């Protein structure tokens, strides 16, 4: 019990509760401009996607750029359950996530034998294949889209699922499995030599990442009324890639921060849309050249981080006896 | 007999398409061979080439060959600039970093292109008026445009082989692709060699762009994405790093695509292309002509 | 768990800032009439969105130059939905709740309209789409007309029917081949209606093939289609693909009629296909841009002067949408969304560039269609007109 009731956890939980209630009250009593509500929910969904992708790219070092495909699987599967099969929302979300995870597993098994660039192209290819298959799948409307999805995603759903995602992935990273994944990122051959089944962990990370992408997809589908296969192509995958890279490969706080910042920037640039993609592409190039570790590098937000920031390193000098 | 004619026509269609993929694939394979980078932006350089050719012909009133040369030179320079600005700083970084940058450059070219020339497609002027050569009383035919594309692709491929195997710069390219650091130690100017590689690869893409403009008439800022990816698949199919491989891979991809469209469903073309990629990567990653490189620890 | 605390702090901070920014002060008396334009200005159907936006901007500046509506200028608030349905919802939400527009024009595709409609309906803002052609755009699943959604273009059931009838009656075709653009809901809708009507009256579909928007080489599939010897080839797509298809079909030796829909209408079609390929090609349209009607001539010339190219059917529809909206605001007598909605619903005899529009009870325009073809130089010629 002691482990859970330390100062950190209590303060964190209080802040999170406060945040949740703040937004919930605003939504229920209509205090917040609906455009902001829409973006807050979108931020939540993007956090799930960024963190899940971070697990694959940032922590396990596998450059997978077909994440939107998993999101699409989750979105469509959950919508089939609610619209065509009349099932309740929680079951639909679960089904969407599981379906995405299964696809992730199936795709991961053969492709994760590839390295670096080849893996990237293969995942890109699979993402596109999923899109093409959906366009040809008349049961879900094909190119005309899947209409009539109930608008049942709410702040509560998004908040708690995002929280769950972050906690789950954080705990995964800090477990032996997570450490194995990190070792795969650092030096795959060394890891293999040390007896770590690299394929197993790569596929594991991939499947978990896909699972949560499916969750996000389900939430997304049930907020935005309509799904269209064309909206889940490479460009969408790039959005999440930018978030992970911008936040820092290997930092969950970074991915969350980046998801928030980039969603807000995206909304703000709506009126100068032609420049939006140019801005993002330049951002991508600039980050890779000037600050490849992104905003947070592979550090997480923590008390010590802020202490160091505030005291400007004096603490360390004292310890060194200067 | 009709079935045979249809089949032959599909093969001809496929070879024309394949020649274009081959030209683009050559650029990919050269760049990959030398700095192990998948230049995502290559497809977009092909697009730029098409537009330069378009403006050269419509605004500067050039004819086919001058426009072709202009576009090739312009894109060669563009390729060098991109390499210097975006890829050189990352030469010693992780592959992920380089690949992400390449994606960034690709998007930049596409969307800046959209901003400059607007998303509306343009009609490429008819610089090579079409004449048909009919066989079997018209049920099979080749147009002069298709013939030009094929011939240009083959000529450029032989030219490339000559450069790589019979010239000093080609020797430098081979050296750098084999072992960059040792080549540097042996006095090869690595930077120049890499720039030259990009220049040549980009000019080939530009040529492909103009030929496509002539053959398919319409060009648009996003025209490079799909052919770029398919050409990459072609390069992998033929064995990435191998020049004959890129050419053969390109032709194969074109023919396969024509067959899929003709005998199955054209909407699944892209899925099949990617399917081929994944199969090759899993079964024989070194491709048809590539050699199996063992990873040394 | 250490990092969570700081994450939570940042989130809370960001949220507080947004809340503070969200509490906007009450607006003063209006000095202009804000109208929202929700269009695909980037993404894969940007060509359509940009074309229409140009026309709308031209229309609005003309209207404002002539004194505006109800004595006030119209302020066009643009939003780019990136050809994405979710973004469509987002843009509509922003325009309505932040920019406080009193009416919405667009989006282009039926799917994006369906994504934006719940927002329009929820906030009771009228939405007029110039090009959303799917039947379900203005009518919900129980056949009830959506109160706040309107369009000023043909609906697929009408245009597809016109095409089918033309093939059966005028061209006397017994067999047809359909070449469908698989990832366009516009083309899909038309092909479905065409097939239904053509077969209902005794015609036979001998070949049904599909392509995707990015395709440029249709020869392989066209070879397959032509081998089935159809009397007519129905291809209702946008001019870039239509032009290439016509050119390649003729190249492959197909001389029989090719029939399309209003997507064929564009000045660029001739450039892409060439006059020779356009012989024996027909398409259904709202109007002819080469008509001698002074209103049309003025529109075409102004657009050409301002944007350097001949406007296509979409641009004409966008132009009319802007004028129709202004007209509705005038008839409503106030910048009141509900009154504007009523005015739109009761539109009678509005004379636009694309024809004379009267709204029916399903918020679709009742207007006649024309069938156009091409003379030997590739100029559009009038063939016949069809009344609903």
pLDDT of residue C22: 47
Interface contact flag, C2 A147, Cβ < 8 Å = no
C-alpha dihedral (A70, A76, A77, A81), degrees to nearest 10: 160
Interface contact flag, B123 C271, Cβ < 8 Å = yes
Chain B residues with CB within 8 Å of chain C CB? 2, 6, 9-10, 13-14, 17, 111, 114, 118-123, 126, 130, 132, 138-139, 141, 143, 212, 216-218, 220, 222-223, 225-226, 257-263, 265-267, 269-270
- CATH class, C33-154+294-367 region: alpha beta
Cα separation, C97 vs C94, whole angstroms: 5
CA distances from A147 to A143, C5, C101, C110 (A): 11, 40, 26, 11
pLDDT tops 60 at residue A44: yes
Q: Which residues of C touch B114 (CB under 8 A)?
A: 42, 46
- Percent of chain A exceeding pLDDT 70 equals 91
Smallest Cβ–Cβ distance between B274 and the set A65, A120, A128 belongs to A128
How do residues C118-144 score in pLDDT, each as one tens digit? 999 999 999 999 998 888 899 888 888
Segment C238-265 shows an average pLDDT of 89
pTM of the model: 0.85
Smallest Cβ–Cβ distance between B267 and the set C211, C223, C244 belongs to C211
pLDDT of residue A313: 43
How do residues C328-342 score in pLDDT, each as one tens digit? 999 998 889 999 999
Number of domains in chain B: 1
How do residues B220-268 score in pLDDT, each as one tens digit? 888 888 888 889 889 989 988 888 888 899 999 999 988 888 787 777 7
Nearest CA in chain A to C17: A36
| Residue A31's pLDDT band (cuts 50, 70, 90) | confident
Segment C214-241 shows an average pLDDT of 87
Nearest CA in chain A to C135: A144
Residue at B295 is within a domain:
no
Q: Are A248 and A294 in contact (CB under 8 A)?
A: yes
Q: Look up residue C216 and give its DSSP letter.
A: -
Q: Which residues of C touch A144 (CB under 8 A)?
A: 110-111, 134, 185, 188-189
Of A67-81, B6-20, B123-137, C253-267, the one with minimum mean pLDDT is B123-137
Q: Are A233 and A127 in contact (CB under 8 A)?
A: yes
Segment A272-289 shows an average pLDDT of 83
Q: Are residues A93 and A8 in the same domain?
A: no
Cα separation, C378 vs A109, whole angstroms: 56
- CATH class, C156-285 region: alpha beta
Identify the CA nearest to C260 among candidates C293, C284, C229: C284
Q: Are A53 and A70 in contact (CB under 8 A)?
A: no
Smallest Cβ–Cβ distance between A306 and the set C6, C18, C79 belongs to C6
pLDDT of residue A320: 43
Task: Count H helices and E strands in chain C, helices first.
Answer: 12, 15
How do residues B165-193 score in pLDDT, each as one tens digit? 899 888 888 888 888 888 888 888 888 89
3-state secondary structure of A232: helix
Q: Are A74 and A216 in contact (CB under 8 A)?
A: yes
Residue at B291 is within a domain:
no
Interface contact flag, B108 A278, Cβ < 8 Å = yes
Q: Are residues A222 and A117 in the same domain?
A: yes
The answer to whether C292 faces chain A, any CB pair under 8 Å, is no
pLDDT tops 80 at residue C18: no
| ipTM for this prediction | 0.81
Residue ranges making up the domain that contains B24: 2-122+137-283
Q: End of a domain among A181, A213, A231? A: A231
Residue at A57 is within a domain:
yes
| Residue A314's pLDDT band (cuts 50, 70, 90) | very low
* Beta-carbon pairs below 8 A across chains B and C: 98
Binding-face residues of C in 56-95 toward A, CB within 8 A = 78-80, 82-86, 89-91, 93-94
Cα separation, B29 vs B238, whole angstroms: 9
Smallest Cβ–Cβ distance between B13 and the set C47, C182, C217 belongs to C217
Identify the CA nearest to C288 among candidates C367, C374, C382, C386: C382
CA distances from C177 to A309, C157, C224, C253 (A): 71, 19, 11, 15
pLDDT of residue C17: 53
How do residues C109-118 score in pLDDT, each as one tens digit? 888 999 999 9
Cα separation, A291 vs A297, whole angstroms: 9
3-state secondary structure of C63: helix
| Residue A316's pLDDT band (cuts 50, 70, 90) | very low
Cα separation, C179 vs A19, whole angstroms: 54
Counting Cα atoms < 13 Å in the Cβ hemisphere of C174 gives: 2
Tell me the average pLDDT of chain C: 86
| Residue C15's pLDDT band (cuts 50, 70, 90) | low
| Residue C1's pLDDT band (cuts 50, 70, 90) | very low
Identify the CA nearest to C108 among candidates C133, C90, C126: C133
Identify the CA nearest to B218 among candidates C183, C283, C47: C47
Q: Which residues of A touch B222 (CB under 8 A)?
A: none
pLDDT tops 90 at residue A216: yes
The β-bridge partners of C211 are: C181
Binding-face residues of C in 99-128 toward A, CB within 8 A = 110-111, 114-115, 118
3-state secondary structure of C127: strand
pLDDT of residue B137: 65
Interface contact flag, A241 B100, Cβ < 8 Å = yes
Q: Which of C219, C254, C274 has the most B C-beta neighbours within 10 Å, making it the best mutation to test the interface with B? A: C219
| Residue C265's pLDDT band (cuts 50, 70, 90) | confident
CATH number where B16 lies: 1.10.3470
How many residues are recorded in chain C?
388
Residue at B130 is within a domain:
no
Q: What angle do CA C307, C311, C316 make, to 5 degrees?
A: 120
Q: Are A216 and A146 in contact (CB under 8 A)?
A: no
Cα separation, C244 vs C252, whole angstroms: 12
Cα separation, C196 vs C194, whole angstroms: 5
Number of domains in chain A: 2
CATH number where A113 lies: 1.10.3470.10
The answer to whether C3 faces chain A, any CB pair under 8 Å, is yes
Segment A114-136 shows an average pLDDT of 85
Q: Are residues A4 and A55 in the same domain?
A: no
Segment C299-303 shows an average pLDDT of 90
Interface contact flag, A226 C114, Cβ < 8 Å = yes
How far off is chain B from C224, nearest CA to CA, in Å?
Answer: 6
Tens place of pLDDT per residue across chain B (297 aa): 677 877 888 888 889 889 999 989 998 888 888 888 888 899 999 999 999 999 998 888 888 888 989 999 999 999 999 999 999 988 888 777 888 899 899 999 998 998 888 887 888 887 777 777 777 666 677 888 888 888 888 888 888 888 888 998 888 888 888 888 888 888 888 888 999 999 999 999 999 999 888 888 888 888 888 888 889 889 989 988 888 888 899 999 999 988 888 787 777 788 888 888 888 887 888 888 876 655 555
Interface contact flag, B285 A292, Cβ < 8 Å = no
Q: Are residues A128 and A55 in the same domain?
A: yes
Q: Are residues A98 and A169 in the same domain?
A: yes
Comparing C11 with C303, which gets the higher pLDDT? C303
Cα separation, B97 vs A286, whole angstroms: 11
The β-bridge partners of C260 are: C283
Comparing C12 with A157, which gets the higher pLDDT? A157
Q: Which tokens hold the place of A130?
A: 């999923």
C33-154+294-367 and C156-285: identical CATH topology:
yes
Q: Which tokens hold the place of A227?
A: 């799904």
Q: Which residues of B touch C277 (CB under 8 A)?
A: none
pLDDT of residue A112: 80
Residue ranges making up the domain that contains A150: 42-231
Most confident of A9-13, A298-302, B78-82, B255-259: B78-82
C-alpha dihedral (A203, A207, A213, A215), degrees to nearest 10: -170
Chain A residues with CB within 8 Å of chain B CB? 57, 61, 63, 65, 110-111, 113-114, 116-118, 120-122, 124-126, 128-129, 132-133, 135-136, 189, 234, 238, 241, 245, 249, 274-275, 277-278, 280-285, 288-289, 292
pLDDT tops 80 at residue A304: no
Domain ranges of chain C: 33-154+294-367, 156-285
Cα separation, A274 vs C53, whole angstroms: 13
Neighbours of C356 (CB within 10 A): 13
Cα separation, B285 vs B279, whole angstroms: 9
Neighbours of C364 (CB within 10 A): 24
Of A6-10, C83-87, C236-240, C374-378, the one with minimum mean pLDDT is A6-10
Cα separation, C329 vs C343, whole angstroms: 7
Cα separation, B160 vs B30, whole angstroms: 10
pLDDT of residue C24: 47
Q: End of a domain among A173, A203, A231? A: A231
Comparing A112 with A244, which gets the higher pLDDT? A244
Smallest Cβ–Cβ distance between C272 and the set B218, B225, B266 belongs to B218
Most confident of A156-160, B12-16, C214-218: A156-160
């Amino acid at each position: 019990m002691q482990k859970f009731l330390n100062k950190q956890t209590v303060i964190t939980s209080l802040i999170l509760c406060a945040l949740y209630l703040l937004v919930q009250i605003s939504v229920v009593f209509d205090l917040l401009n609906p455009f902001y509500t829409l973006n807050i929910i979108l931020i939540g969904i993007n956090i799930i996607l960024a963190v899940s992708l971070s697990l694959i790219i940032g922590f396990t070092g596998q450059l997978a750029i077909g994440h939107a495909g998993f999101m699409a699987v989750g979105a469509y599967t959950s919508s089939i359950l609610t619209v065509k099969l009349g099932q309740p929302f929680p079951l639909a979300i679960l089904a969407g996530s599981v379906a995405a995870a299964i696809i992730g597993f199936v795709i991961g098994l053969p492709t994760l034998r590839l390295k670096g660039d080849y893996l990237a192209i293969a995942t890109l290819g699979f993402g596109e294949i999923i899109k093409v298959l959906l366009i040809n799948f008349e049961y879900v409307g094909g190119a005309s889209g899947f209409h009539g999805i109930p608008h049942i995603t709410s702040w509560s759903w998004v908040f708690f699922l995002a929280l769950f995602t972050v906690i789950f992935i954080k705990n995964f990273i800090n477990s032996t499995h997570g450490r194995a994944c990190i070792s795969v990122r650092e030096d795959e051959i060394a890891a293999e030599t040390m007896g770590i089944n690299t394929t197993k962990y790569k596929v594991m990370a991939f499947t978990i990442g896909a699972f949560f992408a499916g969750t996000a997809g389900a939430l997304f589908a049930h907020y935005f009324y309509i799904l269209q296969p064309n909206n889940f192509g490479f460009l969408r995958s790039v959005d999440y890639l930018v978030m992970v890279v911008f936040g820092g490969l290997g930092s969950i706080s970074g991915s969350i921060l980046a998801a928030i910042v980039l969603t807000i920037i995206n909304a703000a640039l709506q009126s100068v849309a032609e420049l939006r993609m140019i801005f993002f592409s330049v951002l991508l190039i600039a980050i890779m050249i000037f600050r490849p570790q992104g905003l947070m590098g592979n550090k997480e937000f923590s008390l010590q981080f802020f202490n160091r920031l505030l005291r400007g390193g004096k603490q360390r000098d004292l310890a060194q006896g200067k | 007999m009709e079935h045979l004619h249809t089949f032959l026509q599909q093969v001809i269609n496929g070879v024309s398409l394949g020649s274009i993929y081959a030209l683009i694939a050559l650029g990919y394979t050269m760049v990959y061979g030398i700095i192990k980078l998948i230049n995502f932006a290559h497809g977009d350089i092909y697009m730029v080439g098409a537009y330069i050719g378009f403006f050269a012909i419509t605004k500067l009133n050039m004819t086919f060959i001058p426009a072709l040369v202009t576009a090739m030179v312009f894109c060669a320079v563009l390729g060098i600039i991109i390499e210097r600005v975006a890829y050189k700083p990352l030469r010693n970084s992780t592959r992920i970093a380089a690949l992400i940058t390449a994606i960034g450059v690709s998007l930049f070219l596409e969307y800046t292109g959209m901003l400059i020339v607007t998303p509306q497609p343009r009609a490429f002027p008819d610089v090579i008026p079409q004449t048909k050569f009919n066989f079997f009383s018209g049920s099979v035919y080749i147009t002069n445009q298709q013939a030009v594309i094929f011939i240009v692709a083959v000529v450029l491929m032989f030219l490339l082989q000559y450069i790589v195997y019979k010239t000093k710069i080609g020797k430098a390219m081979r050296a750098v692709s084999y072992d960059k650091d040792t080549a540097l130690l042996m006095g090869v100017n690595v930077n120049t060699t890499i720039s030259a590689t990009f220049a040549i690869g980009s000019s080939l893409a530009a040529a492909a762009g103009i030929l496509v403009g002539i053959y398919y008439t319409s060009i648009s800022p996003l025209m490079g994405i799909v052919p770029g990816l398919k050409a990459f698949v072609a390069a992998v199919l033929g064995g990435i790093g191998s020049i004959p491989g890129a050419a053969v891979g390109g032709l194969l991809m074109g023919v396969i695509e024509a067959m899929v469209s003709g005998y199955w469903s054209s909407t699944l073309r892209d899925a099949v292309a990617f399917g081929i990629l994944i199969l090759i990567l899993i079964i024989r990653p070194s491709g048809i002509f590539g050699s199996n490189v063992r990873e040394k620890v | 768990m250490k990092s969570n605390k700081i994450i939570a702090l940042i989130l809370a901070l960001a949220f507080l800032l947004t809340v503070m920014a969200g509490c906007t002060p009450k607006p003063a008396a209006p000095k202009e009439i804000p109208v929202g334009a929700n269009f695909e200005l980037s993404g894969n159907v940007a060509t359509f969105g940009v074309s229409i936006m140009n026309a709308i901007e031209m229309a609005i500046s003309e209207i404002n130059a002539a004194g505006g509506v109800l004595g006030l200028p119209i302020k066009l608030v643009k939003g780019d939905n990136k050809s994405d349905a979710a973004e469509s919802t987002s843009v509509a939400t922003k325009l309505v709740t932040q920019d406080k527009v009193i009416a919405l024009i667009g989006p282009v595709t039926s799917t994006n309209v369906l994504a934006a409609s719940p927002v329009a309906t929820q906030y009771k803002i009228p939405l007029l789409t110039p090009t959303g052609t799917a039947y379900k755009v203005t009518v919900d699943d129980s056949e009830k007309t959506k109160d706040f959604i309107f369009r000023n273009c043909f609906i697929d059931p009408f245009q597809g029917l016109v095409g089918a009838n033309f093939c059966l009656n005028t061209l006397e075709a017994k067999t047809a081949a359909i070449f469908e653009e698989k990832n366009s809901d516009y083309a899909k809708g038309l092909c479905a209606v065409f097939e239904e009507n053509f077969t209902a009256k005794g015609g036979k579909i001998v070949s049904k093939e599909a392509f995707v928007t990015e395709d440029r080489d249709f020869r392989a599939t066209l070879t397959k289609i032509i081998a089935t010897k159809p009397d007519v080839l129905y291809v209702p797509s946008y001019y870039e693909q239509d032009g290439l298809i016509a050119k390649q079909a003729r190249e492959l030796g197909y001389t029989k009629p090719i029939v399309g829909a209003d997507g064929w209408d564009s000045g660029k079609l001739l450039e892409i296909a060439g006059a020779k390929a356009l012989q024996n090609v027909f398409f259904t349209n709202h109007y002819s841009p080469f008509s001698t009607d002074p209103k049309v001539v003025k529109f075409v010339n102004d657009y050409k002067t301002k944007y350097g190219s001949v406007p296509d059917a979409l641009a004409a529809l966008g132009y009319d949408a802007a004028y129709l909206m202004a007209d509705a605001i005038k008839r409503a007598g106030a910048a009141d969304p509900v009154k504007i909605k009523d005015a739109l619903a009761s539109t009678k005899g509005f004379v636009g560039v694309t024809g004379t529009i009267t709204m029916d009870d399903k918020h679709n325009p009742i207007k006649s269609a024309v069938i156009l073809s091409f003379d030997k130089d590739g100029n559009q010629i009038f063939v016949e007109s069809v009344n609903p």
